Chains A and B, each alone.
Chain A
């Protein structure tokens, strides 16, 4: 048998991260949990090794006979997921320790989930895509229920499991119909395969496959009309897990989604209206629901629904008009940085305040820790898309891509709903700066959280001023 197309190196980042997860499990078991404090270093080491490997141009060749790709999308997805891990794991372990959650399980499940996410971003065929989705989903179901003694966490895990299984069913059935009618499992070849059956009776089967697959993927990214699980799961899960779901998992899901839509570009008339309606509805519903939340965590949850809408708009332009994926790739990184940091800040502020993520906890934050309040404002405004922060550049690129692809109306809708988003994001800022504190006393950050917040803030500013930094890196490594 010929193994020349194997190139194991193409999957090495995934292997390193999953190996890290296994090692964490083994060490936890070997030391009977006595050395759990050190496990975070093992995890971080595997993440950093994977990062270093991703930046190494060795991985350019596709591996496993075209099932594992190393194009810019895969590179961007992997780096985004790994960056989220670097930001979240230290804070997550501290969070788990302070609430008596199992640290080793948190770490290993996070690494397994990340393996799935990275594989999803680099999947070259439908089977790998589905496997990746399942690996990441099952790990996340468990993570959502990590705080098992709390009912909201159990409820989140179960809701997520049920909604996720439903979505997986859609996805798998869609894949079966699609690959059956196109005669291939290779994602990139789907377009030509479908072109062969157009005009025959099989095209209706293919259409069913496209619609079902898109429905499954919309479920996974939490877009309208499949968004109803988001609020419950995001607000019930342990906050560090929510942060992970709303950042890395979403980025990976969009990478996979983008890859599928890119391949289906030749039959775009079949899905553009569908995705367009969903994108528009997602932007409107996400932003307006976020606006009325009195709970910071739920606000972030709905705002991440809204961001899914903008990303869908970017994907539409990609699939339909042959635009590059640049806009989506760029949008994701600042989104992930800001959200990861914001969720960790939310956990900290809530713990020091009401304990249930009330927006009121932010009152007078500027008096208690002006730097934190300043960075909070920076991160929120970055998400809102105020220039010169990176969120603006991301929105700008997405909207330009949409206009270029002829979706002017949706782009205008996107810009208008961003105003609503600004108002949403300003509320905590107003509380932090314009209100008197209800509790006195400084609110000090520990080193890890301060690191995350500063890195995210600096990243938003840097990427806003020099967006090419990230895009050139993706293009340079991937092509």
Chain B
């Protein structure tokens, strides 16, 4: 019975979306609370999964290590299956998705335009995200990946800022281009890999794919496909130079959607690399590891430099995401156990920290209706509680010891240093840049003389605190004692590293 827990987590939000479409249009609170109730179910189930998860199982290419597995034929003619399960790579992501989705319902309380549509699409988005993380069948994965794309497009395009149409279409086209490359790759794998879409079985064919005699369009099969999948995922991360959709989408998206975008959607890129690219093409991963590490370092430094130049608070946070996702890439490319665990942990921690930062930006935007860094000043005096929470988030983002960001970055550096000394040295400069743009921003927004315009700015309210405090507690808790999340992923990350390095 209990293996259905993942199915429930995935489809309860969808049911919620259906229920919401039939609620009366003007019952705003009813709609909000219904959405919250349906988002609470996956959260509770995710906690349960987190508690009962067998830490000894490894997963990745070993089906026995996956938990709550359901495997049913879906389209037998093409061997497409409803095949889901979690391992150490996906379990933290599932937890993160459930948590952020639930909190974002409350961060969306202020939405007033077409409430029904907003919450229905939001829940549909949650279904797409959950499904992507639990799928073990390639077509199922692709279907959920695309299902997630559409609500996101509408959520940005309808409820976004002034340039929402441009941002939504740009987001859609970039992501679609990536997923189309992925589809081509999926088909190629299907016909080379014994006509199966099961990720586990495809991993077992890794040697066949790597056969140097196997070519596609005159080039090495594994390498071509690795690059195709890499670009597909890189657009989502986003890896420089595919990152330009991200600032636009973030600036225009409503607060809660920015949180989901940065907190969950970006992780899908790196998650895809870990779940698909690395175990299916271990040889190509070895060949391209250095290039990926270089891209990671470019992300770190370029993102940080761009963040420093931003006038818009939200754009600053968006570029900080680009920078922080660079650490994930670097850790992954190091192909050492510490680096991989650091990358996986960074995915989770960046999800929580950046979510806090976007929520915080949302709080001040709701009051001042602008996000210009230079338009504020001295907010610390009028909003002490808000400032306190904000400091926590920004310091965590900077990687201050004792907060969760620190552990992940240290692990990444430890892991990467063994493989690429100079690159690690360069990327460590990113920490200085991060401290630079965050502290400079804090100085301009929270410190200094009070901007008279905002002397009556109301303090952060209970609902907003409710969205921030749980994440804040997690950030502090994992900063002191990261084991509860790390032991979820340890087995899987180690397995992943051995899989690639021993190939």
Contacts and interface: CB of A to CB of B under 8 A. Distances in A.
| Any A–B CB pair closer than 8 Å | yes
Given A433-B154, A433-B158, A468-B76, A418 B180 contact: yes
A386 B191 contact: no
A251 interface: no
B143 A419 contact: no
5 contacts: A387-B147, A400-B78, A411-B184, A412-B184, A419-B173
A474 B146 CA distance: 29
B172 A426 contact: yes
A419 B114 CA distance: 29
A412 B143 CA distance: 19
B165 interface: yes
Nearest to A326: B77
Interface string A387-407: 110001100110110011000
A288 interface: no
Given A400-B187, A434-B158, A416 B77 contact: no
Contact of A423 (B139, B146, B173): B173
A408 B157 CA distance: 36
Max chain B Cβ within 10 angstroms of own Cβ: one of A387, A430, A433, A471: A387
Given A404-B191, A434-B165, A434-B168, A415 B183 contact: yes
Contacts of B177: 419
Contacts of B184: 411-412, 415
Given A400-B187, A426-B169, A433-B157, 12 more contacts: A326-B77, A366-B158, A370-B117, A387-B147, A399-B187, A400-B190, A411-B187, A415-B180, A419-B176, A430-B165, A433-B158, A471-B77
Interface in A51-89: none
Interface string B458-489: 00000000000000000000000000000000
Interface string B103-147: 000000000001001000000000000000000000100110011
Interface string A409-444: 101100110110011001000100111000000000
Contacts of A430: 157, 165, 168-169
Contacts of B32: none
A90 interface: no
B77 A408 contact: no
Given A400-B187, A423-B173, A426-B169, A381 B157 contact: no
Contacts of B75: 393, 467-468
Contacts of A419: 173, 176-177, 180
B178 to A, nearest CB: 10
Interface string B160-173: 00001100110011
A393, A396, A467 pick with most chain B CB within 10 angstroms: A396
Nearest to B76: A468
Contacts of A326: 77
A386 B187 contact: no
Contact of B77 (A388, A412, A423, A468): A468
Contacts of A387: 142-143, 146-147
A415 B183 CA distance: 8
A139 B408 CA distance: 72
Contacts of B172: 426
Nearest to A465: B74
B150 A381 contact: yes
Contacts of A403: 187-188, 191
A396 B147 CA distance: 16
B216 interface: yes
What DSSP secondary structure best describes chain B's contact surface? Answer: helix
Interface of A: 326, 366, 370, 381, 386-388, 392-393, 396-397, 399-400, 403-404, 408-409, 411-412, 415-416, 418-419, 422-423, 426, 430, 433-435, 467-468, 471
A431 B216 CA distance: 41
Contacts, number: 67
Nearest to B143: A387
What are the 6 tightest A-B residue pairs by CB atom distance, in nearest-first order? A387-B143, A387-B146, A434-B165, A434-B157, A388-B143, A419-B180
Given A326-B77, A408-B216, A422 B191 contact: no
Most B CB atoms within 10 A — which of A397, A412, A430, A434? A434
Interface in B252-266: none
Contacts of B168: 430, 434
B180 A416 contact: yes
Contacts of B154: 433
A361 B80 CA distance: 41
B164 A434 contact: yes
Contacts of A434: 157-158, 164-165, 168
Contacts of B76: 468
Interface in B339-386: none
B158 A386 contact: no
A471 B165 CA distance: 39
Contacts of A393: 75
A412 to B, nearest CB: 6
Contacts of B190: 400
B429 to A, nearest CB: 38
Contacts of A418: 180
A403 B157 CA distance: 36
Interface in B39-85: 75-78
Interface string B182-212: 0110011011000000000000000000000
A386 B180 contact: no
A470 B147 CA distance: 23
A430 B166 CA distance: 10
Contacts of A396: 78, 139
- Which of B154, B158, B164, B168 is the most central at the interface, judged by chain A CB atoms within 10 Å of its CB? B154
B281 to A, nearest CB: 19
Contacts of B147: 387-388
A418 B177 CA distance: 10
A186 B231 CA distance: 51
A25 to B, nearest CB: 44
B487 to A, nearest CB: 35
A359 B177 CA distance: 25
A64 B351 CA distance: 69
Contacts of B77: 326, 468, 471
A423 B153 CA distance: 13
Contacts of A392: 143, 146
A411 B188 CA distance: 10
Contacts of A386: 146, 149-150
B298 to A, nearest CB: 27
B150 A422 contact: no
A17 B128 CA distance: 45
Contacts of B173: 419, 423
B197 to A, nearest CB: 11
Contacts of B165: 430, 434-435
Interface in B414-457: none
A305 B176 CA distance: 23
A400 B187 CA distance: 7
Nearest to B158: A433
A402 to B, nearest CB: 9
B218 to A, nearest CB: 11
B385 to A, nearest CB: 37
A426 B168 CA distance: 11
Contacts of B187: 399-400, 403, 411
A93 B26 CA distance: 38
Contacts of B149: 386
Nearest to B149: A386
A378 B139 CA distance: 20
